[in-house]
Amino acid sequence: MQQNADVVVIGGGIAGLMTAMYMAEDGAEVRLLEAGELGAQASGANAGSIHLQIQYPEFVAYGESWGRAYAPCLRLLTESLTLWQGLSARVGEDLQVKLAGGLVVARTDAQMQAIAAKARIEAEAGVETVLLSQADLRAVAPYLAEDAIGAGFCAREGKANPLRATPAIAAAAERAGAVIQKHTRVTAIETGRDGYTVTTDKGQIRARRIVNAAGAAAGQIAEMLGLHLNIEGFPLQVTVTEPMAATIPHLVYSAAGKLSLKQVANGGLVIGGGWPAALRQDGGLVTDPRSLTGNMGMAAGVVPSVGGVRALRSWTAWVNGTPDWRPILGEAPGLPGFFLALFPWVGFSAGPMTARITADLVLGRPPALPLKGISVLAD
């Protein structure tokens, strides 16, 4: 039996769910399809960091020219953080959003120089990163190792609870009238005179418009219509420790290597930063002991008290990524009514504004934020 919808959203992560919520609130007939559980990949399995500044490892690896090309995306992240701050009230649940600032901690003069160069580019995009001396840093973050000589501090960064966010947003979308189908895998998409036919393992759906918010699987969905996207899935892992006394209010990065570290409401530390998970032979993911050792060693080197707590659990996530880190947002060229809602690498942070822009575009309104310089589709 064929079903009908005004809009089909593919992907049950934060971007897809919030796009469905916004559109349903505006009266659209929306059906969201998720191949597994909601938020089971990146949105519910990430470390919960809310990023704003340009990521330091990529800035050092790719250089200032890359940083300047990426900098317009900070406008979208800035607006997304504003939406995050009001999201708990909007969905009716405490998502534990706290923006106490992010620190990129340096151990060498060369690292501080790179942080300063990054800060100059961020300032041009309207994002303030304050350079802290060793004495200033000691006053702000006494929990850091003594070899920290300074840091860049971005006051609006922080954290949220991804385990709370995804189900709360899904419930809000359903209250607004969106229909959510879990464990429904899209197997084919065909174009027609007045829209698309989406074939799933549960049947077919006829829709005038489609939103591809499938994250790491977005490339596979797009290929069903002959559209090639330069986007891939990357397997990463995250670890949580046992609770400790409240010590760390900030989101902590290291200029010496991959690290994101934050202390959550129960006192546990959530530690990640882009360390790879391992692929099983069947295509599934499993944590990599080498990444666990390296990640925990990096964390303890930056925050010595980490060395005194036990790691309780590690888990994996598929994160979508593009080579240049820029998002793919908007209507696909040559495919009227087929929209892309993809913000790579920091999609949890960008999810609310990604969704707001996408909902506006699908419903025929000017986007909440102009996409020139942000989305590769707008150039």
In a domain, 11, yes or no: yes
In a domain, 90, yes or no: no
Among 321, 349, 364, give the residue marking a domain's end.
Answer: 321
In a domain, 76, yes or no: no
In a domain, 93, yes or no: no
Q: How far apart are CA 271 and CA 302, in angstroms?
A: 12
Mean pLDDT value of segment 85-103: 97
Structure tokens at 161: 């609870």
Domain count of the chain? 2
pLDDT tens-digit series, residues 151-202: 999 999 999 999 999 999 999 999 999 999 999 999 999 998 889 999 999 9
> Does the pLDDT of residue 339 top 70, yes or no?
yes
In a domain, 279, yes or no: yes
pTM higher than 0.75: yes
Same domain, 292 and 336: no
In a domain, 313, yes or no: yes
> Does the pLDDT of residue 67 top 70, yes or no?
yes
Report the pLDDT value the prediction gives residue 43, as an integer from 0 to 100: 84
Same domain, 150 and 253: yes
Same domain, 24 and 152: no
pLDDT tens-digit series, residues 261-305: 999 999 999 999 999 999 988 878 999 999 999 999 999 999 999
Same domain, 237 and 304: yes
Same domain, 139 and 217: no
Amino acid at 48: G
pLDDT tens-digit series, residues 302-315: 999 999 999 999 99
**153-186 burial: b if 16+ Cβ within 10 Å, else e:** bbebbbbbbbebbbbbbbbbbbebebbbbeebeb
Identify which of 327, 236, 373, 325 has the alpha carbon closest to the alpha carbon of residue 57: 325
Report the pLDDT value the prediction gives residue 1, as an integer from 0 to 100: 61
In a domain, 82, yes or no: no
Instruction: Report the CATH number at residue 311.
Output: 3.30.9.10
Contact status, residue 127 vs residue 78, Cβ threshold 8 Å: yes
Same domain, 32 and 168: yes
Same domain, 276 and 344: no
Among 283, 300, 321, give the residue marking a domain's end.
Answer: 321
Environment class of residue 93 by beta-carbon count within 10 Å: exposed (0-12), middle (13-18) or buried (19+)? middle
Instruction: Report the CATH number at residue 368.
Output: 3.50.50.60
Same domain, 241 and 306: yes
Percent of the chain clearing pLDDT 70 (strictly above): 100
Same domain, 268 and 291: yes
- Domain of 356, in residue numbers: 3-44+163-230+324-378
